[in-house]
Amino acid sequence: MLAAQEADDIVAARALGARTGRVILKHLLPNCLAPLLVYGTIMVGSFIGAEATLSFLGIGLKSPVVSWGIMISEAQNYIRVSPYLLFFPSAFLVAAVLSFVMLGEAVREALDPKLR
């Protein structure tokens, strides 16, 4: 927000006498919405990974709740008998985290005016 306040279009709008509400709605908010959207989508992937890590370590959610971290933790005991119990939750966890991070990068590339 602070960097966007010093942009040329906002300074020009203030010089032309635009009110503060108009400057915020028409100039400041559209310039700040794209980075917030990118940051939000990347953080969703980070939060999923953090929750799974904490659940795997036994600090997060507990056993009756379904979580990829709990499923991976419980599957360690059965790795020799049925390795798919470990493979599928791990694969879905990696796919989910990677997809949210890649979605954030795609949104950044689509909405960043410097890349056009």
Structural domain boundaries, residue 68: 35-115
Q: Is residue 49 part of a domain?
A: yes
**Number of independent structural domains in the chain:** 1
Give domain status of residue 16, yes or no. Answer: no
Any domain includes 22: no
Residue 82 φ then ψ, to 5°: -140, 90
pTM: 0.74
pLDDT digits (tens, 9 = 90+) for 61-112: 887 888 899 999 999 889 899 999 999 999 999 999 999 999 988 888 887 7
With pLDDT > 70 as the criterion, what percentage of the chain qualifies? Answer: 92
The full DSSP string for 68-116 is HHHHHHHHGGGTTT-THHHHHHHHHHHHHHHHHHHHHHHHHHHH-GGG-
Is 63 a member of any domain?
yes
In a domain, 24, yes or no: no
